[in-house]
Amino acid sequence: MSKELEDQIVAVVKTVYDPEIPVDVYELGLIYEIKIDQEQNVKVLMTLTSPNCPEAETLPQQVIDRIESLEAVKSCDLEIVFDPPWDKDMMSEEAKLELGFL
């Protein structure tokens, strides 16, 4: 996997924000895994803050659109998972600081 491409993917994913929380989905810990195969197809495992998240339709599509906007990416497949369930301990230190948890 290309570290440079992975860094680009993380950078564009960090432009997707949960509208209810002023922190991007990556720093919130909603992105569990990013895999890139030899053909530059990207597979993302993502969760939501809750199964009834009002943004369940739009957030994943925003992530796909941002990743597929990268010239080096052939396609993006995103799977929503709820195991393990998301909790605030999955947030980065930066996100916890931003939200006043530190």
Residue 49, pLDDT score:
84
**Residue 28 to residues 4, 22, 58, 69: CA-CA distances in angstroms?**
22, 10, 16, 22
Residue 57, pLDDT score:
80
**Residue 95 to residues 10, 22, 44, 87, 89: CA-CA distances in angstroms?**
15, 9, 21, 13, 10
Quick one: residue 100, left, alpha or beta (phi over 0 = left, psi -120 to 50 = alpha)? left
Residue 52, pLDDT score:
80
Give CA 96 to chain center in angstroms. 17
Residue 71, pLDDT score:
95
Residue 55, pLDDT score:
73
Grouped pLDDT means (10 residues each) for the chain, 102 residues? 88 92 92 95 93 81 97 96 91 91 82
Domain residue limits, the chain: 3-90
Residue 2, pLDDT score:
78
Decide if domain 3-90 falls under CATH 3.30.300.130: yes
